[in-house]
Structure 1
């Protein structure tokens, strides 16, 4: 199954480094970043998990919970966490899902249904497709899907940037242009008529093309 934007994020129960959770219940009314890893004790993933731990306050500011997944048992994650802190200076303070039966990886379309039922004996290369980032909204709908190769570490500054955009555009009828950052100008979405736009944006807009109405970022 391939998951797409605006589909419901599949719910599941799983053991994590912070106890057993039911995923949707755990998210609650927050946003969520679920990011996955092919194997514990792998070098690129070690840097990613530590970097994400170091950004905890940034995600907290955005009411966004972080949860990791790796195709290994929770006991292995707990040992790996010590390496992550030693190498990166930060211990993961977010839960890490134990997926030793591959159930969540298959549920989220990161492994095929015939991948088996155990992580035992599987190499990182066997799980190379378990390198995905999902951003999930408080409505439990998938808002973003990114997949990375094992050789390329993820850019979590970009995840924060996208999260800012998603939260802004969920509140206002705007879209964010290329390379947008917090505080920069935005675009009124085409579905908003000029009449409605005048009510929403009384200061007016700049229109380099009839279909492109640029305004200051709303602050409320």
Structure 2
């Protein structure tokens, strides 16, 4: 299975580890968790208590406040239990020197959600032969539609600074005249002067960030 760009993201129900909840356990419906005005990033990792995953989630923990300024919520997913997430979160905080974990982790031990979203890595398995989740990233808009997806194998780590960059300035398409662009983007249009003299390198702040 899987989900395509522009599709409404499934409004799944799941148990999550949430450091603010009693005993760390909470149940959510995904669309309700996102809310009406937020963007969201859902990303999967293969397994708790592993080195690459620990560095990745440590980096995300450091970036949570930056994502919040972009009106973006972050949630992780792996096939481990809530109790495993709870224990591992302490390792992540210690390694990344963070006082709070900062975001929830979905528990998907039966791989149901991973299969629904096309996040299974067929080449990587646990010692008991169970498949691991790959390193997927989904960015979902306030309309609950999928705006971006990235898919890495379980063996390859991600650069979350690159994911953060996706909320940076937007490029203005060359087919718009400068006057049209200025009317369409009231926050302003920055034009970079190029040796060719062609004004095609134009940028504007994210129009959706009001």
TM-score normalised by the shorter chain: which range applies? 0.7 to 0.9
- Which ranges in structure 1 are unaligned for 5 or more consecutive residues? 170-174, 176-186
Q: Is 1:59–1:160's contact at 8 Å kept on the other side of the alignment?
A: yes
In proportion to residue count, which structure has more helix?
Answer: 1
2:21 corresponds in structure 1 to: none
- Deviation, 1:93, is 1.6
Mapping 1:1-220, distance limit 5 Å: 1-18=1-18, 19-28=26-35, 29-90=37-98, 91-111=100-120, 121-122=128-129, 126-127=131-132, 129-165=133-169, 169=170, 175=171, 187-188=172-173, 190=175, 192=176, 196-197=180-181, 199-200=183-184, 213-218=200-205
Superposed CA offset, 1:128-184 (max 9, x none): x5210111111111111111233332111100101225xxx5xxxxx3xxxxxxxxx
Q: Is 1:81–1:92's contact at 8 Å kept on the other side of the alignment?
A: yes
Give me the TM-score of the superposition, normalised by structure 2: 0.77
- Deviation, 1:6, is 1.4
**How large is the RMSD of aligned CA atoms in angstroms?**
3.0
Kindly tell me: are residues 13 and 215 of structure 1, through their superposed partners in 2, closer, same or farther at Cα, counting changes over 3 Å? Answer: same
Kindly tell me: are residues 193 and 105 of structure 1, through their superposed partners in 2, closer, same or farther at Cα, counting changes over 3 Å? Answer: same
- Deviation, 1:64, is 0.5
- Which ranges in structure 2 are unaligned for 5 or more consecutive residues? 19-25
Kindly tell me: are residues 218 and 70 of structure 1, through their superposed partners in 2, closer, same or farther at Cα, counting changes over 3 Å? Answer: closer
- Deviation, 1:80, is 0.9
2:23 corresponds in structure 1 to: none
